[in-house]
């Protein structure tokens, strides 16, 4: 259990974010075409798991845009943007923003994702959504970087996440 804030108001998360050196937990999330995606679907590639509450907010949108730009130059790496938005809203966001270098996945059928990854907000008006976090894995799903952003309204440390992939 961790505590994050939004405009200074505290929120508690379920569990703990995976730590560096651990295996990333599996997941079953929903793609834009309503099919399911699992962590195994991205086997053999490095992953930036970009977790945001909703792409319908300015900070989450900026975070997705920034990782979209970075992903264009990353070899053997996939960026997964995971949010509580419905797949239709995620697709509309990507189309409107011209985002093509990442894959959006929705938690709307998978409330266990927040618990399994230690980022589900457990209390307050945002309960059921996720905190803001970035988890970077190698091609074997071993976690090489994590950040649970302490203030939900702030962007993550992009350079630390991208630097973990540079070695």
SS3 letters across 17-72: CCCCCCECCCCEEECCCCCEEEHHHHCCCEEEEEECCCCCCHHHHHHHHHHHHHHC
The Cα–Cα gap between 97 and 80 comes to 16
Nearest by Cα to 64 from 44, 48, 40, 42 = 48
For residue 72, what pLDDT is reported?
78
- Run means of pLDDT, 10 residues per run, the chain, 167 residues: 92 93 97 96 97 94 91 90 96 91 94 95 93 97 97 95 89
> Domains in the chain, start-ordered, CATH in brackets?
3-166 (3.40.30.10)
Q: Which residues pair with 145 in a beta bridge?
A: 136
Beta strands, E only, 85-132: 103-106
For 25, the token pair is 């937990």
pTM: 0.95
Q: Which element (helix H / strand E) includes 158?
A: helix 158-166
Question: Would you call 60 a catalytic residue per the annotation?
Answer: yes
Question: Among the options 48, 51, 60, 121, which is catalytic?
Answer: 60
């Amino acid at each position: 259990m961790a505590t994050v804030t939004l405009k200074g108001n505290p929120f508690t998360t379920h569990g703990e974010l995976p730590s560096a050196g651990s295996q990333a937990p599996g997941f079953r999330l929903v793609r834009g075409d309503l099919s399911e995606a699992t962590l195994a679907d991205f086997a053999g590639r490095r992953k930036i798991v970009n977790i945001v509450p909703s792409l319908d907010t300015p900070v989450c949108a900026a975070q997705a845009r920034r990782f979209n730009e970075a992903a264009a130059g990353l070899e053997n790496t996939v960026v997964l943007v995971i949010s509580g938005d419905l797949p239709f809203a995620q697709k509309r966001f990507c189309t409107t923003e011209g985002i093509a270098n990442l894959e959006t996945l929705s938690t709307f059928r998978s409330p266990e994702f927040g618990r399994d990854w230690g980022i589900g907000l457990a209390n307050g008006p945002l309960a059921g959504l996720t905190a803001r976090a970035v988890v970077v894995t190698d091609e074997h799903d071993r976690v090489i970087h994590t950040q649970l952003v302490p203030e939900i309204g702030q962007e993550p440390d992009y350079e630390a996440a991208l630097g973990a992939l540079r070695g």
